[in-house]
């Protein structure tokens, strides 16, 4: 919910064998030329293959995003469940990627091809649940999880990404949202329809942290674990506004990016917060690939203001019974490391993880590293 902070501001060398000199200089030149040509051909071929691989990765990513939109349009406002579109259903070849934190990676932490993924011997049947439910942050939509969804599904996990009210392709007018319960209704409806003995792992990003907290209080028996990714993790009686007041006045990027919307007139409270598109990269995507910034710039929607003001009612018996985990993003320009630490200290989760080099949107900037942590958390047994 970092994109809401600003609303708080006042206004290894092989030795080469020696080659014998050939008597015929012309033949020598011809041979050298031929060898050089062959090497250049191999180099060009290698470059071409790399280009094809990169293009294929991008094509697959775009196809995944398009599938999300088509499926949700078909189902109306129902949450998107891609469990039916697993590429390798019931296959023993499902593999998961190595952690990007164990070696240097490129800035964009690119997705790997399935055949490149390393088997971590995940036995899904041994897990309490292999179903992830991904909840976007303020202004985002289910579309932002396309890399995470693809990686999890390659490993055999079931994944559902949900558009909250007035977000993504959900058709409701953001300015008309008057409560947090109205905003999170698609998530609550999804959890309510789960089988009685079915549990899920909730993952919330940004303002999605507040939303999964609300769901944890309402449906604790259906949530195995809750993972907060650069997210608002509140305590009882706090609103998202209360928490982010702690960094008011210290986030110039946020103040420059925010734009209040007054659908009911300037003499009434704001109904939503929009973000200046030209500020998105610096604020939310400072370590993310340009293509993902472009995707966000045409996909993000205003953030409803009323849910930001609402104070949460959280109890130890319900909310407190769900195992919580936090994933920090140290290069975050929207929710500072200081604020993340403050939330963690105020309401300590079971464990804290960190995605090195991640900005506020690790599903774009460090998808492999984020994926590994999600899988690792899913494997943590009950204590």
Q: Are 193 and 159 in contact (CB under 8 A)?
A: no
Catalytic-role residue among 81, 292, 332, 359: 332
C-alpha angle with apex 318: 214 to 180, nearest 5 degrees?
A: 15
Q: Are 329 and 352 in contact (CB under 8 A)?
A: no
The per-type count for the chain, helices as H runs and strands as E runs, is 13, 10
Catalytic-role residue among 131, 136, 360, 371: 360
Query: For 199, phi and psi rounded to 5 degrees?
Result: -125, 160
* 126 is an active site residue: no
What is the DSSP track for 50-80?
HHHHHHHHHHHHHHHHHHHHHHHHHTTTSPE
Structure tokens at 141: 């939509």
- Provide the H-helix boundaries in 258-305: 280-284, 290-299
Q: Are 234 and 347 in contact (CB under 8 A)?
A: yes
| Region label for 84, one of left (φ > 0), alpha (ψ between -120 and 50) or beta (otherwise) | alpha
Pairing verdict, β 223-231 and 200-206: parallel
Query: Which residues contact residue 300 at a Cβ distance below 8 angstroms, ignoring those fewer than 6 apart?
Result: 139, 140, 141, 275, 280
Catalytic-role residue among 206, 274, 292, 359: 206
* 332 is an active site residue: yes
Residues known to be catalytic: 206, 332, 360
């Amino acid at each position: 919910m970092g994109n809401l902070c600003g609303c708080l501001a006042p206004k290894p060398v092989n030795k080469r064998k020696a080659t014998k000199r050939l008597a015929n200089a012309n033949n020598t030149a011809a041979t050298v030329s031929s060898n050089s040509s062959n090497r250049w051909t191999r180099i060009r071929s290698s470059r071409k293959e790399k280009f094809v691989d990169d293009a294929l990765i991008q094509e697959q990513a775009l196809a995944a995003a398009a599938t999300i939109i088509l499926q949700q349009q078909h189902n109306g406002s129902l949450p998107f469940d891609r469990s039916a579109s697993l590429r390798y259903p019931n296959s023993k070849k499902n593999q998961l990627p190595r952690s990007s934190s164990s070696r240097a990676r490129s800035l964009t932490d690119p997705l790997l091809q399935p055949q490149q993924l390393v088997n971590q011997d995940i036995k899904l049947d041994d897990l309490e649940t292999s179903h992830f439910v991904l909840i976007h942050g303020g202004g985002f939509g289910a579309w932002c999880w396309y890399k995470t969804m693809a990686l999890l599904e390659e490993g055999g996990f079931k994944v559902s990404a949900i558009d909250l009210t007035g977000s993504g392709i959900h058709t409701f007018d953001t300015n008309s949202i008057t409560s947090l319960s109205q905003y999170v209704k698609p998530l609550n409806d999804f959890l309510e329809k789960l089988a009685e003995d079915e549990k899920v792992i909730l993952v919330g990003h940004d303002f999605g942290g507040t939303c999964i907290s609300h769901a944890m209080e309402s449906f604790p028996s259906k949530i195995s674990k809750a993972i907060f990714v650069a997210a608002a993790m509140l305590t009882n009686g706090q609103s998202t506004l209360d928490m982010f007041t702690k960094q008011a006045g210290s986030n110039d990027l946020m103040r420059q990016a925010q734009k209040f919307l007054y659908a009911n007139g300037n003499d009434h409270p704001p109904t939503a917060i929009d973000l200046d598109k030209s500020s998105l990269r610096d604020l939310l995507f400072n370590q993310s690939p340009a293509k993902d910034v472009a995707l966000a710039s045409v996909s993000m929607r205003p953030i409803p203001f009323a849910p930001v003001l609402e104070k949460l009612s959280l109890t130890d018996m319900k909310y407190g019974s769900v195992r919580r985990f936090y994933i920090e993003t140290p290069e975050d320009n929207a929710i500072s490391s200081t604020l993340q630490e403050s939330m963690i200290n105020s309401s300590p989760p079971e464990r804290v993880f960190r995605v090195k080099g991640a900005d506020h949107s690790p599903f774009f900037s460090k998808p492999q590293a984020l994926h590994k942590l999600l899988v690792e958390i899913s494997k943590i047994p009950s204590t």
